[in-house]
Structure 1
Amino acid sequence: MTSADDALTYSTRPQSLMLSFLGLHVLGRDTAVYSGSIIDVFGRIDVSEEAVRSTLSRMAHRGLLTRHRRGRRVYFGLTEHAGRVLQDGERRIWDTGAVNRDWDGTWTLVAFSLPDTRRSDRHDLRSKLIWAGFGLLQNGLWIAPGHKDLTAIVDELGLGDNVTVFTAQQAKPTESADLVRKAFDIDAIAERYRAFLARWDTSDPLPATPDDLARQLVLHTDWLQLVRQDPHLPAEHLDADWPAIRAEKLFRELAHHYHATTAELAEGALDQIRPEA
């Protein structure tokens, strides 16, 4: 059994865990996995059967999963939309990474103004901007390093007439380092990476977890949540001992290790079929 803190962490984010599971074991394979197999794997990290079934049902309803019946068994595969979502996560993990060493000095700026009657739209836009790596510089003005394409976000919310997006570079007396510290909570970002290191930078990570198949699932979920929350700030404006550097190196080492140790475990644990066209 995991500790109470770990169990709480896992049980509060079953969809995040599910996305990691699908990315590890279904993405890029023409396969569907038996729901009972998924329940078994998630049970190893104290996620209940009810939570797994509820998550699978919601994701199928949202068009992320397809159902396939074989007798009394139900198997779940990916839709094209889910494949794109998971591929985006893979790019963020392996290509974009946690450390921005290639910043060209450009910022994307977003300004908007919405009346109180559209408070819900305003909340949704702010949430999506944060998820996309933006920080609030001053009232109504958000910034993110690099070039960001916000077309999909603006179109989805129907805010084309309310949002202005442009790219720019800072000019004296403004310094990019000051923009980083004004718009982003550097301490909070660093603390999240330190928490990751505290959990994983040991000789025996998650010792109460039964096997590497379970540890692999938690590792990838932890890391993807980290990098998705990271605004990918320019390394040149962060401390030389920025914890994301060590955390990313550790993640890659562990990810490759678990990839090697879990192949046989996954083969034995997962009942999979090839969906009919």
Structure 2
Amino acid sequence: MARSVPLPPVAESEPRARPQNLILNLLGIYFPDAEGWLSSRSIVDVLADAGHGEPATRATLARMVRRGLVFRRVDGRRTLFALTPEARGIVEDGRRLVWERDPVNRTWDGSWTSLAFSMPESFQRQRHELRTRLSRAGFGAVRAGLWISPHDVDLDRVLDGLDLAEHIIVMRGVPSPPTTPEVVVAQAFDLDAVAIRYERFLDRWADVGRAHPASSEILMTNHLLRRARHDPRLPVEFLPENWPAETAARLYRTRYAEWHERARQDLLAEPV
């Protein structure tokens, strides 16, 4: 594989992609099944093109083995890695976000899921974890302790392991006058911030010129997933025209078609 191909610059405000996320993307995109093994040399080379040095990549691989995210085996002079079932589940969640979920909600039934919580001060850790999970599940905070989502959310999954049943109230319904859905959306969701994140994705990947396909694809996937996982995916009637999430999804598919097969063939042809 060719090395040291310049990649699109990252905005100063954009967090650097973590090596673990890039390794998950690399193995998940090109070798998602249980028989998909890739050498440490290829992983190191691809992540080098993505801006991570060999020591950091090898240390990350060792941590991922300990955490049960990748399997490791030795084949002659090569050390090979593959995703564990747990890691394949993580990758599959991301694949559904990128490929199966419509960037906007076109099938909304008009109902909202609301979750209110009140817990003791000693529950600081649980409070922080709950807010993080709610945000990732597409909820927005109307005010302190009251979160809403236009989706019929699987809250068993969101709340799993937090042991907060006594401290929350969940309901599903519609706002009543004088409250309107438009007021709820304006208070709970920062659409400008969501749009800016997608516009940065478009700025980075719309014109990439010459690029190494594997490192570009895993970085692009990581970049889009960060947006998709923090996008409340509001009903289309609350979104402005030309919502950039749809443009970002189309651009991702275009770049995928350009890069994916070439990258896969490069990886399959790795030297022994």
TM-score, structure 2 normalization: 0.89
Residue matched to 1:274: none
Shift of 1:135: 0.8
Residue matched to 2:124: 119
Residue matched to 1:104: 109
User: Does the Cα contact within 8 Å between 2:37 and 2:80 map onto a contact in 1?
Assistant: yes
User: Does the Cα contact within 8 Å between 2:213 and 2:263 map onto a contact in 1?
Assistant: yes
* 1:194-247 superposed Cα distances (whole Å, 9 cap, x missing partner): 111111122xx165x4x2222212211111111111111111111012111212
User: Does the Cα contact within 8 Å between 1:137 and 1:179 map onto a contact in 2?
Assistant: yes
Aligned-partner Cα distance in 2 for 1:264–1:128: 38
Residue type of the partner of 1:215?
A: S
Residue matched to 2:133: 128
User: Does the Cα contact within 8 Å between 1:133 and 1:232 map onto a contact in 2?
Assistant: yes
Residues 61 and 106 of structure 1, relative CA distance in 2, 3 Å threshold: farther
Shift of 1:187: 0.8
Residues 100 and 170 of structure 1, relative CA distance in 2, 3 Å threshold: same
Residue type of the partner of 1:236?
A: E
Residue matched to 1:275: none
Identity of aligned residues (%): 36
Residue matched to 1:66: 71
Aligned-partner Cα distance in 2 for 1:270–1:135: 49
Shift of 1:28: 2.8
Question: Structure 1: which 5+ residue stretches go unaligned?
Answer: 272-277
Residues 103 and 110 of structure 1, relative CA distance in 2, 3 Å threshold: same
Residues 70 and 235 of structure 1, relative CA distance in 2, 3 Å threshold: same
Residue type of the partner of 2:10?
A: D
User: Does the Cα contact within 8 Å between 1:105 and 1:146 map onto a contact in 2?
Assistant: no
SS in structure 2 at match of 1:229: coil
Residues 7 and 46 of structure 1, relative CA distance in 2, 3 Å threshold: farther
User: Does the Cα contact within 8 Å between 1:33 and 1:270 map onto a contact in 2?
Assistant: no
Aligned-partner Cα distance in 1 for 2:109–2:124: 35
Residue type of the partner of 1:92?
A: L
Residue matched to 2:234: 233
Residues 161 and 59 of structure 1, relative CA distance in 2, 3 Å threshold: farther
RMSD of Structure 2 on Structure 1 (CA): 2.3
Aligned-partner Cα distance in 2 for 1:257–1:12: 22
Residues 4 and 149 of structure 1, relative CA distance in 2, 3 Å threshold: closer
TM-score, structure 1 normalization: 0.88
Residue matched to 1:164: 169
Aligned-partner Cα distance in 2 for 1:194–1:4: 14
Counterpart among 25, 33, 46 of residue 20 in structure 1: 25
Residue type of the partner of 1:220?
A: T
Counterpart among 70, 90, 95 of residue 90 in structure 1: 95
Moved more, 253-262 or 141-150: 253-262
Question: Structure 2: which 5+ residue stretches go unaligned?
Answer: none
Residues 246 and 155 of structure 1, relative CA distance in 2, 3 Å threshold: closer
Counterpart among 186, 199, 202 of residue 197 in structure 1: 202
**Aligned residue pairs, count:** 267
Residue matched to 1:247: 248
Aligned-partner Cα distance in 1 for 2:266–2:149: 41
Residues 114 and 72 of structure 1, relative CA distance in 2, 3 Å threshold: farther
Aligned-partner Cα distance in 1 for 2:270–2:102: 30
Aligned-partner Cα distance in 2 for 1:244–1:192: 9
Residues 10 and 240 of structure 1, relative CA distance in 2, 3 Å threshold: closer
Residues 180 and 10 of structure 1, relative CA distance in 2, 3 Å threshold: closer
1:261 aligns with 2:262: yes
* 1:128-177 superposed Cα distances (whole Å, 9 cap, x missing partner): 11111111111201111110012133231222222222221223332222
Residue matched to 1:6: 10
Residues 179 and 270 of structure 1, relative CA distance in 2, 3 Å threshold: farther
Shift of 1:91: 0.8
1:153 aligns with 2:158: yes
Residues 270 and 172 of structure 1, relative CA distance in 2, 3 Å threshold: farther
Residue type of the partner of 1:147?
A: D
